[in-house]
Structure 1
Amino acid sequence: MVTSVQPKRLTMQVADVAPEMTTIRSLDWDRDRFDIEFGLQNGTTYNSHIIRGDKVALVDTSHEKFRQLYLDTLTGQIDPKRIDYIIISHTEPDHSGLVGDVLELAPQATVVGAKVAIAFLENLIHRPFQRQVVKNGDVLDLGQGHELTFINAPNLHWPDTIFTYDPKTAILFTCDAFGLHYCSDDLYDEDLKAISPDFRFYYDCLMAPNARSVLSAMKRMDALDAPIQTIATGHGPLLRHNVEELTGRYRRWSQAKSQAETLVAVFYISDYGYSDRISQAIARGITKTGVAVEMMDMRGADTHEVQELVSRANGVAIGMPPSSGDRAKQAQATLGTILAAVHSKQTIGLFESYGGDDDPIDPLMSRFQELDVTPAFAPIRLKDTPTEATYQLCEETGTDFGQLLSQKDRLKQLKALDGDLQKALGRISSGLYIITAKQGDISSAMVASWVSQASFEPLGFTISVAKDRAIESLMQVGDPFVLNVLEEGRHLPLMKHFLKRFPPGADRFAGVRTRLAQNGVPILADALAYLECQVATRMEMSDHWLVYCTVQDGRVSNPDGITAVHHRKVGTYY
């Protein structure tokens, strides 16, 4: 049975997924950004689940924007007085934001979660509640065959994440892991082609910086030695038709990222200020360069694990902790361990958390400089609430960090290549173009030469975009952009401007004449022609994305002008 209520925008969907198991989906149709860090093309959902045995368990709740809708739907499915357990997959507010409200209706319920999750909830729910701490392998018997097994899955993508497996229904509840921001009436993943771009984008944004943690969690999943017929995610459709395919993608992507020889350790505090979001943006920028990332919450971090991680890392990024309170004591202990473990061959970067009580950044930077550690980037100082532009700055900073660390390896690879092959490949000529893109407060541009028409109907062409380009984040499926065609004899000023290295967060259009296209993207006024486009599909190559785009509009400014052409001496680097 599947029923839907409320008009589109914020709606609820209730589905009987298995005998004695009901899913409540809060559908957020129009959400276009998720916590500002990255844009959404297809909205999102927040999924909550009811398991009925002799006892009843509620797995996760919903976002606070759905408070009344969710509570009305929940009470329409079950008398809250019958809820025995509230299982917290992790304490990020979009899943646990209504736990306090549910406890008001079900004060008898026991909150079940990882040790760290219970500690976080004490700061979120300012009232006593019954609790049960679970660890990897623990079992909670609801009766009638629902013997729930818990799997420890920290850093996916919060430090307190757990999975829950129900052997009777062969359902694995994973919250953020294996999810995607995709809102539709489809309960399951029947249309693999439709959801694949969002599935990958979600992985790149949230899971790629924790690739080693993904593999560790999947190893524990394998240890269940039990069938998984359905994955009940926290976002998007439930996975039932393509479980093997989609979990296989996670495994392959994570193995590739975790095998990188260069590693950056990113330390943050998940429940303080904007530390987790800023660190995630920096980490994503780093992973775009092929450098591996391991993230660790400074609150309650194990001393030996901190030492081991820092000893393996080529670089370290640290979010500033609070200067007072329990968090400060725990974080200062972790900082002391980091300071004792770093060495002069490493690079260090610091960023503020904007939590209202940040420890001063300069004294800590001075201590690292005394240890002869190389600064990775100028400290990121936040004076206002982070915006889209802030997160773009953080991602670009991470990309610069990753490029700095991987530069030596790239030079070695280039020197090892055959000279004749390089020269022969370089004889493939191409036109010169500048891609411009804009979303909200974020805009970017890049010089492109790997452009080729690909179809007549619809009108379409392909562009190859390096994975570590800043503009790549603005060229996801559905995103608008403009292809500006440069004119022979007038292209050098634009080339010189857009080929220079921009610092993170810099305005790439400063001093350049532009006007807005109908799709809201800047057009370069001095270009020979422009095409208004939209990304249709993306194909992953080893170090580039091959992006197929469709054309909506275009115009030539000089009918007699010809396209500037680029001839490279070698074909193995720009």
Structure 2
Amino acid sequence: MVATPVRTEKRLTIQTGNIAPDTTAIRSLDWDRDRFDIEFGLQNGTTYNSFIIRGEKLALVDTSHEKFRQLYLDTLTGLIDPKDIDYLFITHTEPDHSGLVKDILQLAPQAVVVGSKVALQFLENMVHQPFEKLVVKNGDTVDLGKGHEFTFINAPNLHWPDTIFSYDKGTQTLFTCDAFGMHYCSDALFDEDLGAIAPDYRFYYDCLMGPNARSVLSAMKRMDALGEIKMVANGHGPLLLHNVGELLDRYQKWSKAKAKAEKTVAVFYVSDYGYSDRVSQAIAHGIAKTDVAVEMVDLKSSDPQEVQELVSRCAGLVVGMPSISGEYAEETAATIGTILAASKKKQVIGMFESYGDDDEPIDPLLRKFRDAGLKEIFPSIRLKDTPTELTYQLCEEAGTDMGQWLTREKAVKQMKALDTDLDQAMGRLSGGLYIITAKKGEIKGAMLASWVTQASFEPLGFTIAVAKDRAIESLMQVGDRFVLNILEEGNYQSLMKHFLKRFKPGEDRFEGVKTQVAKNGSPILTEALAYLECEVGSRMECDDHWIVYSKVEIGRVSKADALTAIHHRKVGNHY
């Protein structure tokens, strides 16, 4: 299993390695990519993984991003003659994995393209040329010979509506593309260093898989019938070989926790139309940060009966506007009609534009939902320009607002129910008053905090407890930088009042507040007693909070003789 990196000047490299008998990985390493589809920041770049399996017949599993066109094609043709490709397995049609399908088919017109029915439909509209195809569904097999018999597993919405896994019985390797991956770029072909990859593996799950937790569990249930899985050949990051059981168990645990939620929101979008899929993913991520389950549905490929059943049991709906023309206009219009007919009073609704060529207008449909008794929970997201980081921040915050609104009664009930001697005793744990401020790219955030404790001398470090549904949580991943502003006793009321208020999605938290810019780029509150510039070193998960350990880089006090503001509570079950 020897890996051979080939470097270029643009920090786009290709790595090849034999990962199992007759099986070669081609990994396109995107070292400097700092965002994925804009809405999710990356700390360690990413990779796009493709695989060659040589039996008596030859199969290629996925391709690569179009930015790697020449590098990838040169590498592929150096390993095989494209005319020898019998099958091209398409796990799903997202462009970072299928971006070079048209190029491959030009080199290998004889190849049979294998994928789910939906994937092949999408692919026909992408490549605009005829090709041989084979539709596979759950349990179907393709035998390459020499023991390489592939079984296919339906895995829709992980995280694309047309996703399908494939399992090579000969090598006991499961090819999963987006699932069980991570945006982590390194020369390591496999997951030897679990500690190094764990934060990125979790962040990737939270952003892309967590909103589809029930779909994760459904796919993993189907995986149980395959037998032993020795390796997971994913589409992003190092392949899973040394910690397969542990990392699959984590998906199971995280997904079960999310699927237990009492309330569910259905998010309807149109894959690969305008920015519908990206906007919907950001909203879903915001919802999933609260104690609310999310189920995502592609309007182009949904089953009417399943849509009707889902809508009838949901507490909230989010609808992305489809095109009023085009190939799928009739199907999407019919699904919108099904959603409207199945919706009911006391549900909440949120809507967004897709910024495609001819979005259906929001207002006429929104009026129909209102007339049916649904409550609009966040202002409709109307895209007038190409979405930016700030747009996706607004989308995530809108989703979090929806989730918090749906769980408000539970939160109030919990606060009232725990007014016990123990709870009052816990409330006597006092803390200082601080405001965390952070900036990543265009996105800025702030949060009032009192659960802050020094945790180490060398290096200087402390911990902060951050609730999972806080907007700033996304800006406090491992490697992120922020400022801890320490408030002054007797001189904190105005800042505390400002940052305690509820901000609208996308609203500037710092409007009207005096700030300076820290060396790490985050805002420093001019009226704070002191500040510390910090970097997140690690995170530990608790039930409803993240414990964030951070290392201190720079600090300064404005008044040497002043004291830190102290926060005293009466009970321990809420702030």
TM range (shorter): over 0.9
Pairing partner for 2:89 from 87, 90, 110: 87
Separation of aligned partners in 2, 1:261 and 1:163: 30
Q: Displacement, 1:558?
A: 1.1
Describe the superposition over 1:114-134 as per-residue Cα deviations: whole angstroms up to 9, x where unpaired: 010011111110211111111
Separation of aligned partners in 2, 1:7 and 1:383: 38
Aligned to 2:413: 412
The number of residue pairs the alignment matches comes to: 573
The amino acid across from 1:300 in the alignment is: S
Aligned to 1:146: 148
Report SS of the residue matched to 2:497: helix
Report SS of the residue matched to 1:506: coil
Separation of aligned partners in 1, 2:390 and 2:425: 41
Q: Displacement, 1:4?
A: 1.0
Q: Displacement, 1:418?
A: 3.5
Aligned to 2:483: 482
Percent identity (aligned): 70
| Structure 2: gaps (5+ residues) | none
Q: Displacement, 1:378?
A: 1.1
Aligned to 2:77: 75
Q: Displacement, 1:370?
A: 1.1
Separation of aligned partners in 2, 1:119 and 1:355: 20
Aligned to 1:17: 19
Aligned to 1:61: 63
Q: Displacement, 1:369?
A: 1.1
Q: Displacement, 1:368?
A: 0.8
Q: Displacement, 1:62?
A: 0.5
The amino acid across from 1:106 in the alignment is: A
Describe the superposition over 1:39-65 as per-residue Cα deviations: whole angstroms up to 9, x where unpaired: 111110000000001110000001111
Report SS of the residue matched to 1:205: helix
Describe the superposition over 1:262-298 as per-residue Cα deviations: whole angstroms up to 9, x where unpaired: 1101111112111111111101100101100011111
Aligned to 1:209: 211
Q: Displacement, 1:25?
A: 0.4
Report SS of the residue matched to 1:366: helix
The amino acid across from 1:210 in the alignment is: N
Report SS of the residue matched to 2:332: helix
Q: Displacement, 1:488?
A: 1.1
Describe the superposition over 1:447-467 as per-residue Cα deviations: whole angstroms up to 9, x where unpaired: 000000000001000000000
| Structure 1: gaps (5+ residues) | none
The amino acid across from 2:272 in the alignment is: D
Describe the superposition over 1:190-231 as per-residue Cα deviations: whole angstroms up to 9, x where unpaired: 10011000000000000000000000000000022x211000
Pairing partner for 2:131 from 126, 129, 132: 129
Give structure 1 regions of 4+ aligned residues with deviation exceeding 4 angstroms: none
The amino acid across from 1:237 in the alignment is: P
Q: Displacement, 1:300?
A: 2.5
Aligned to 1:180: 182
Separation of aligned partners in 1, 2:409 and 2:321: 29
Query: RMSD between aligned alpha carbons?
Result: 0.8
Q: Displacement, 1:428?
A: 1.0
Q: Displacement, 1:568?
A: 1.0
**Correspondences of 1:261-340 after superposition (within 5 Å):** 261-340=262-341
Q: Displacement, 1:427?
A: 1.0
Describe the superposition over 1:172-194 as per-residue Cα deviations: whole angstroms up to 9, x where unpaired: 00000000000011100010011
Separation of aligned partners in 2, 1:289 and 1:106: 48
Q: Displacement, 1:7?
A: 3.9
Report SS of the residue matched to 1:354: coil
Aligned to 2:388: 387
Report SS of the residue matched to 1:103: helix
Pairing partner for 2:169 from 167, 170, 195: 167
Separation of aligned partners in 1, 2:211 and 2:357: 26
Q: Displacement, 1:524?
A: 0.6
Aligned to 1:564: 565
Separation of aligned partners in 1, 2:503 and 2:171: 53
Separation of aligned partners in 2, 1:464 and 1:319: 34
Q: Displacement, 1:419?
A: 2.8
The amino acid across from 2:122 in the alignment is: F
Q: Displacement, 1:324?
A: 1.0
Describe the superposition over 1:230-262 as per-residue Cα deviations: whole angstroms up to 9, x where unpaired: 000000000000000000000010001001011
Aligned to 2:5: 4
The amino acid across from 1:469 in the alignment is: R
**Correspondences of 1:340-489 after superposition (within 5 Å):** 340-489=341-490
Report SS of the residue matched to 2:328: helix
Report SS of the residue matched to 1:326: coil
Report SS of the residue matched to 2:44: coil
The amino acid across from 2:567 in the alignment is: H
Report SS of the residue matched to 1:421: helix
Q: Displacement, 1:144?
A: 1.1
The amino acid across from 2:110 in the alignment is: Q
The amino acid across from 2:441 in the alignment is: G
Describe the superposition over 1:9-55 as per-residue Cα deviations: whole angstroms up to 9, x where unpaired: 11110000111100000011111110101111111000000000111
Describe the superposition over 1:453-507 as per-residue Cα deviations: whole angstroms up to 9, x where unpaired: 0000010000000000000000000000000001112111111111111000011
Asked if 1 retains the 8 angstrom alpha-carbon contact of 2:419 and 2:571, the reply is: no
In the alignment, structure 1 residue 553 sits paired with structure 2 residue 559: no
Q: Displacement, 1:421?
A: 2.3
Report SS of the residue matched to 1:265: strand
Pick which of 527-536 and 374-383 moved more. 374-383
Separation of aligned partners in 2, 1:273 and 1:119: 18
Separation of aligned partners in 1, 2:135 and 2:369: 38
The amino acid across from 2:574 in the alignment is: Y
Aligned to 1:194: 196
Report SS of the residue matched to 2:469: coil
Separation of aligned partners in 2, 1:240 and 1:6: 25
The amino acid across from 2:152 in the alignment is: F
Separation of aligned partners in 1, 2:212 and 2:346: 24
Separation of aligned partners in 2, 1:261 and 1:22: 44
Report SS of the residue matched to 1:397: helix
Asked if 1 retains the 8 angstrom alpha-carbon contact of 2:350 and 2:380, the reply is: yes
Aligned to 2:247: 246
**Correspondences of 1:222-241 after superposition (within 5 Å):** 222-224=224-226, 226-241=227-242
Separation of aligned partners in 2, 1:260 and 1:553: 41
The amino acid across from 2:14 in the alignment is: M
**Correspondences of 1:498-509 after superposition (within 5 Å):** 498-509=499-510
Report SS of the residue matched to 2:507: coil
Separation of aligned partners in 1, 2:6 and 2:286: 40
Separation of aligned partners in 2, 1:285 and 1:5: 39
Asked if 1 retains the 8 angstrom alpha-carbon contact of 2:161 and 2:301, the reply is: no
Q: Displacement, 1:140?
A: 0.6
The amino acid across from 1:419 in the alignment is: T
Q: Displacement, 1:420?
A: 2.1
Report SS of the residue matched to 2:308: helix
Aligned to 1:120: 122
Aligned to 1:525: 526
